[in-house]
Amino acid sequence: MARSPEDALKATLARVAPGTELRDGLERILRGRTGALIVLGFDRAVDAICSGGFDIGIDFSPTRLRELAKMDGAIVCDRDASNILRAAVQLVPDHTIETHESGTRHRTAERVAIQTGFPVISVSQSMRIIQLYVGGLRHVLEGSEPVMARANQALATLERYRARLDQVTNSLSALEIEAMVTVRDVAITLQRQEMVRRIAEEISQYVLELGVDGRLLSLQLEELTTGLGPGSEMILRDYADVHDGKLNVEEQVATLQNMSSSEMVDPSKIAAVMGIQPGQDSLEAVVQPRGYRLLSNIKSVPPAVSNRLVDHFGGLQNLMAANIDDLMTVDGIGEQRARTVREGLSRIAETSLLDRFM
Ligand SMILES: Nc1ncnc2c1ncn2[C@@H]1O[C@H](COP(=O)(O)OP(=O)(O)OP(=O)(O)O)[C@@H](O)[C@H]1O
């Protein structure tokens, strides 16, 4: 599958992160008050828009990049910037490609990135900034300090969001045991899951961008996201409407992830993703979970067994009411596994109710 421009930008951010030789070279160019235009990749499409200059084919080093950038024209490296292939090249991209940049260096960079699909880096001599062009995206590289400041703010937000998510998830579990879940409870949990996912994704981009300077941030992110798992997917499997005899969870997760922030704050919009049409009191309607999410919390129950249990009992309430003999009537479930499921469900019931009332 072709990578999205956002994913390609993330990969490029990792390639120019602090601690890499490429970043060192770019910083040297910046400090030396020269500019540069660097293409990260070479193929026929790049060759076709190269005019003049010369082939060099030498190993990459930050000082070589810095020296070559003193010459007029662009530098072409291979994809992972381990070799410098050409220097002092005039790039002649298709001039009909629309560009929002001003200045020939940056206009060329944007056009070449769009035309060839390779990332292009411009170091502006007059503005003293490093910019990445990937597909149609542009990203200004910053020093580690401002990125770290934003990352720390995002981390504090993630901490708050995670605490709230744990609260609504525990409350959902208790309500499930008591068969008192409303559409609103489900929508709020999905909303909180998605908010945590978004802020965690933002922080993982900072981790990439910070390279060696982002090690501590990476550990903090890991700590705040442990145990999250495929949260939204499990909730949707429990509650989403069955369409044409099947669940469309993958599609619904994607819709949820593409919702705008203003849509996200509206529980009825989230309920619509689950297939619940807005109407009077639709958010207050009581719904029954199928049981996938709580079953996934029992470590030794693989997904295939969960699927069979849900198919057989048709919902969490029946599952909770089943004794070991009932569980053993399900295909492929022996006494040992039936006992594990029974004990697991009882433990979940106890802890959720304790969490709720203590
Ligand atoms: N099509 C191109 N191919 C290769 N190099 C180019 C191209 N266009 C510009 N450059 C390089 O960029 C340098 C600066 O050009 P120009 O002053 O027009 O750009 P600019 O966008 O204003 O750049 P800066 O922000 O660095 O001042 C040129 O001297 C040349 O080395």
**How much is the pLDDT for 245?**
67
Residue located nearest, by CA, to atom 5 of ligand 1: 73
Total residues belonging to the chain: 358
Ligand 1 centroid–CA 153 distance in Å is 37
Ordered DSSP codes for 245-288: TB--HHHHHHHHHH--HHHHT-HHHHHHHTT----TTGGG-B--
- pLDDT 10s digits, 302-334: 888 888 999 899 899 999 999 999 999 988 889
Q: Is the Cβ–Cβ distance between 102 and 111 less than 8 Å?
A: no
Question: To the nearest whole percent, how much of the chain has pLDDT over 70?
Answer: 97
The model carries a pTM of 0.83
Residue located nearest, by CA, to atom 8 of ligand 1: 105
Ligand 1 centroid–CA 300 distance in Å is 61
Nearest-atom number in ligand 1 for the CA of 89 is: 4
- pLDDT 10s digits, 243-281: 666 778 888 899 999 999 999 999 999 999 888 877 777
- pLDDT 10s digits, 171-196: 999 999 989 999 999 999 999 999 99
- pLDDT 10s digits, 45-59: 999 999 999 999 999
Pocket, ligand 1, Cβ cutoff 6 A: 35, 37, 72-74, 90-91, 103-106, 108, 124-127
Residue located nearest, by CA, to atom 12 of ligand 1: 105
Domains and CATH numbers, the chain: 5-141 (3.40.1700.10), 142-289 (1.20.1260.110), 290-358 (1.10.150.20)
* Averaged pLDDT, 84-112: 95
Nearest-atom number in ligand 1 for the CA of 35 is: 26
**How much is the pLDDT for 242?**
74
Q: Is the Cβ–Cβ distance between 296 and 237 less than 8 Å?
A: no
For residue 1, pLDDT over 60 is answered with: no
**How much is the pLDDT for 35?**
95
Question: Is 192 marked as a binding-site residue?
Answer: no
Q: Looking at the DSSP assignment, which residues form a beta bridge with residue 134?
A: 137
d(CA 199, CA 202): 5
**How much is the pLDDT for 66?**
97
- pLDDT 10s digits, 13-23: 999 999 999 99
